[in-house]
Structure 1
């Protein structure tokens, strides 16, 4: 999700180290300790304005959440929501998903959410898709043995590409919904994009992926 550049966004993020991690590499292998508990760590890659991760963290107080977003102006929108909610189980990180292994130890993450990622439809941009094989390698390394990825999109092309990418990589397709909002799933938390697209009648796709131990 792209927003216009917000002047002073980085300064505002760094002004709240209680929620926005400044040196994530120092927490590698120590995220639970930083949350002061032994609860599982779940991450969302690409937070959008934060509706999903804020609501998910509220509903799951016994899970530690880390929202990861590359764009500072976008992450600032999440921080503003967090400053209102003051959720003790949510931290934010301005970072590139390609560098996850610099911030998380092998097996440290229990779940990864990929919500409405940029489809990068042009073939020459394939390597930027968050379901490309190099990203899958990174996810597999930071995920626990029983960890999983939950991937949602309204983009049929990206979904089809991703199912092939998961299969070719050797990942396990544990659950696939071709029309999430007309399925038996009851605990779905919507993102801003999801609300917008579903109101237009767009079909929402979801897949849950694991890796062979």
Structure 2
């Protein structure tokens, strides 16, 4: 489904103190941008901000960088995040618009990401498009130089073929799978933060597939 244009999105984001335009200028400097120097977690494909809005206020000891492609997606996320923080300043989230396939353009080894979240990404079901999957080895090898030793990757999806393929992709790219489940919501996971798609799929009775993996030396 195509995202409807939002003429207000660009100007509102440009006026937002936690949105960064032209993120290439921040390469190897993300840790310095936040008011507090603390671990950096990255959400690839942050969409309308449900996950970050639910997670970041609970964890002020973590800095979060959310990346998606379009202003029309990020602008509603900006509003949702502000609502989640209420009267408190949004000081541990940065949002930016960029192509995730070109992630090394905006993040470098000095940025030292300690966790990556990938939630309900495009499954790219046609074989000729598999290399565009955010969990494909081609993509995972782009992430590796940005990660701290023992950094983790947390992944959720409703797509069983993508999940099965990701279980193969991760070891190929030097990640060890720590946990996996075929039905996340059937388990007792009080710390799970729902995304917009996760809420929709779970209400339809679709099981949520999830895993946690660790970067190997």
Aligned to 1:5: 5
Cα separation, 1, equivalents of 2:173 and 2:196: 30
User: TM-score normalized by structure 2?
Assistant: 0.91
After superposition, the C-alpha distances for 1:51-82 in whole angstroms (9 at most, x for unaligned) are 11111001101100111011221111111223
Equivalences for residues 27-42 of structure 1 within 5 A: 27-42=26-41
Establish whether residue 92 from structure 1 lines up as the match of residue 91 from structure 2.
Answer: no
Task: Determine helix, strand or coil for the equivalent of 1:47.
Answer: coil
Equivalences for residues 168-179 of structure 1 within 5 A: 168-179=172-183
Cα separation, 1, equivalents of 2:75 and 2:129: 27
Task: Determine helix, strand or coil for the equivalent of 1:193.
Answer: helix
Task: Determine helix, strand or coil for the equivalent of 1:6.
Answer: coil
Deviation, structure 1 residue 105: 2.0
Equivalences for residues 37-116 of structure 1 within 5 A: 37-84=36-83, 85=85, 86-106=89-109, 108-116=112-120
Q: Which runs of 5+ in 2 are unaligned?
A: none
Establish whether residue 181 from structure 1 lines up as the match of residue 185 from structure 2.
Answer: yes
Deviation, structure 1 residue 117: 0.4
CA RMSD in angstroms, aligned pairs only:
1.6
Deviation, structure 1 residue 2: 5.5
Q: Give yes or no for contact 1:100–1:142 (8 Å, CA) kept in 2.
A: no
Deviation, structure 1 residue 95: 0.6
Cα separation, 2, equivalents of 1:45 and 1:72: 15
Q: Give yes or no for contact 1:45–1:68 (8 Å, CA) kept in 2.
A: yes
Task: Determine helix, strand or coil for the equivalent of 1:42.
Answer: strand
Cα separation, 2, equivalents of 1:109 and 1:24: 16
Deviation, structure 1 residue 7: 2.3
